[in-house]
Amino acid sequence: MADFRFYELEGPQEGVIFFDGIPDTGLVGTIAAHHVVESKKMALSVRIDSDLLPPVAVVKNMNLLEPIGVFRSGDLSILTSEIPIPTEIAKQFAKELVAWLVGKKFKEVISVGGVADSNRPEVERPEVLYVTNSTKTFSSQVNLEKLKPLDSAFLVGSKAAFLLECFRAGLPTLGLFAQSFLNYPDPGASASILEALSSVGSLKVDVSDLVKSGEEMRVRFRDLMRRTMGEMERAQKSRELESPSLVV
Amino acid sequence: MSIDLSDEFEDRFRRMVAEARRMEERTLRALKEFEHAEGCMVPLYELRPTADGYVVTIDLPGVEKQEINLLFKGDSIVVTAPCKRSAKAAVRGKQLEYFIELALPRGIEEQSIKASMKNGLLRIDMKKAKGGYEIKVD
């Protein structure tokens, strides 16, 4: 029996791009997801809940909402979360989310995150790395030649679990990772990724707003960052600083 | 009678994880209660060892370097700085300043401490006091 429930408020998702803003390193994906949702005034289309999640409800305008939801505008759906995915259920969540994406016939997945870099304070424009299972799908939408392929690395945490499931299911998937702070919300890294995605029509937003409101974002996402740090430690995030031993 | 060790192990593991989560929750609750009681925000920070000392970074969005009060107290450092309006609007309550007192590892050389600020990130470099004696390897 499935552990996660998807309450759909809006019509079919067939042919839609799925953008993942699961909290992770520097909250890079989360901040990018919030910025696009707010810029495009996207509407909540799917509410996600599970008995495995902590009992949290978000109060907004006299309404009670689950902390995880999917926002929709045209051919774009964005997953946002007000809580980090608990490490113990990260794989289960990834498995059921991807099964739902496949069942609903989403066109492709763009998953956004950060790679921690101790040199980040000195970097003005964070570099963006990518990993994909379908260069053919994404090279016509994103200028992959300007980005650096992620050739050999460990990815750890709920985003890693999600990407692994996407690849396993054969969903066309693009993972984008910007150089970022590990433990500080990093709107600059989110801006770098959104700039790299500006050629994807439905993801085109004014990034200068994000840069201008960067200080406010760093304060606004401070509490979520603290909680995400705990989950990242439990998921053995430090492995991302190690190199895989497999050479073939 | 046989005992299913895998079940027992799983049960113990679940209890350990639950206890670790309770401890983390108590720490986070204490921190938020402190912020609400004192009217301040405790910034995110990191303390990393280097070859000859430590580097501390503290996230102070919206703060200019001339606004920072940085005090070395031997076994800790205290940082206070005003919050900007944009930062105040982004959080609940009436936080007026950033405040953190950070316990330091022992043996810091006081004269070596240097601080710099870039894009709202305070960096404090400090060296370990020199000491010890060389041992000849035979």
Q: What are phi and psi of A211, to 5 degrees?
A: -65, -45
Mean pLDDT of all residues in A127-151? 94
B93 vs A14: CA distance, rounded Å: 43
Cα Rg of chain B (Å, integer): 21
The answer to whether residue A248 sits within a structural domain is no
Count how many domains chain A has.
1
Yes or no, beta carbons of B61 and A213 under 8 Å apart = no
The answer to whether residue A76 sits within a structural domain is yes
The answer to whether residue A36 sits within a structural domain is yes
Distance of residue B86 Cα from the nearest chain A Cα, in angstroms? 6
Q: Which residues from chain A sit within 8 angstroms of residue B121, using beta carbons? A: 121, 184
Mean pLDDT of all residues in B19-39? 89
Token pair 């997801």 is at which residue?
A33
Yes or no, beta carbons of B86 and A216 under 8 Å apart = yes
Residues 6+ apart with CB under 8 A from A64: A57, A58
A131 vs A148: CA distance, rounded Å: 9
Q: What are phi and psi of B50, to 5 degrees?
A: -120, 180
Mean pLDDT of all residues in B17-45? 89
Would you call A89 an interface residue with chain B, using a CB distance cutoff of 8 Å?
Answer: no
Collapse the DSSP code of A240 into the 3-class scheme (helix H, G, I; strand E, B; otherwise coil) and give the result. helix
Q: Which two tokens stand for residue A160?
A: 């890693």
The answer to whether residue A89 sits within a structural domain is yes
Distance of residue A218 Cα from the nearest chain B Cα, in angstroms? 7
pTM: 0.90
The CATH number covering residue A30 comes to 3.40.50.10900
Pick from B28, B87, B119: which is nearest to A219 by CB? B87
Handedness of CA A142, A21, A92, A59 (dihedral sign): negative
Mean pLDDT of all residues in B47-53? 92
Helices (H) and strands (E) counted in chain A, each on its own, are: 8, 11
For residues A18 and A25, the answer to whether their CB atoms sit within 8 Å is: no
> pLDDT digit string (tens) for A2-44?
899 999 998 788 889 999 999 999 999 999 999 999 999 999 9
Q: Which residues from chain A sit within 8 angstroms of residue B87, using beta carbons? A: 215-216, 219
The answer to whether residue A246 sits within a structural domain is no
Q: Which residues on adjacent β-strands are paired with residue A175?
A: A111, A131
The answer to whether residue A195 sits within a structural domain is yes
Find the range with the poorest average confidence among A192-201, A233-242, B21-30. Answer: A233-242
How large is the ipTM?
A: 0.86
pLDDT beyond 70 at B85: no
* Domain range for A236: 4-241
Residues 6+ apart with CB under 8 A from A74: A202
Would you call A209 an interface residue with chain B, using a CB distance cutoff of 8 Å?
Answer: no
